[in-house]
Amino acid sequence: MKKKYRHILIVDDNPSIRGPLGFLLEEEGFDVEVAENGHEAMEKIRQKLPSLIFLDLMMPGKNGYEVCKEIKTDPTMKDIYIVVLTAKGQPQDKEKVLSFGANEYISKPFSPVKIVDKVQELLK
């Protein structure tokens, strides 16, 4: 069985999320890039399409909703798997971002180990 491409982009303005999650994923053999905001994320996506994106919703400049919508309406990017990691836990926030095409929604705080297990399952 052929392994899926293992490039992951973590988009979050909080370094205490990007750093530990990125470290754990790299330890598991994933190719990880990070972006601090939506504009930087879109630049990195255009340079190298990831298989999976962890996306925060609340960021300065271009927010996660805008990034998700832009990715899912672009034919070259629409198949990227998007997991939203956010402190916004209201049902309407979840409904909105899922309607834009996000694949999963996980509220902060979360278990980094469970996140790594989920990625292993998705990209095995």
d(CA 78, CA 38): 16
- Record the pTM: 0.90
Q: Give the CA dihedral 20, 94, 97, 100, nearest 10 degrees.
A: 140
Burial of 69 by CB count in 10 Å (0-12 exposed, 13-18 middle, 19+ buried)?
middle
End-to-end CA distance of the chain: 9
pLDDT of residue 4: 52
pLDDT at 3: 44
What whole-number distance in Å separates Cα of residue 83 and Cα of residue 68? 10
Phi, psi at residue 29, to the nearest 5°? 95, 10
Per-residue pLDDT of 14-27, as tens digits, reads 999 999 999 999 99
pLDDT band with cut points at 50, 70 and 90 for residue 1: very low
Domains detected in the chain: 7-122 (3.40.50.2300)
Question: From residue 69, how far is each of 32, 34, 52, 65 by CA, in Å?
Answer: 22, 19, 15, 6
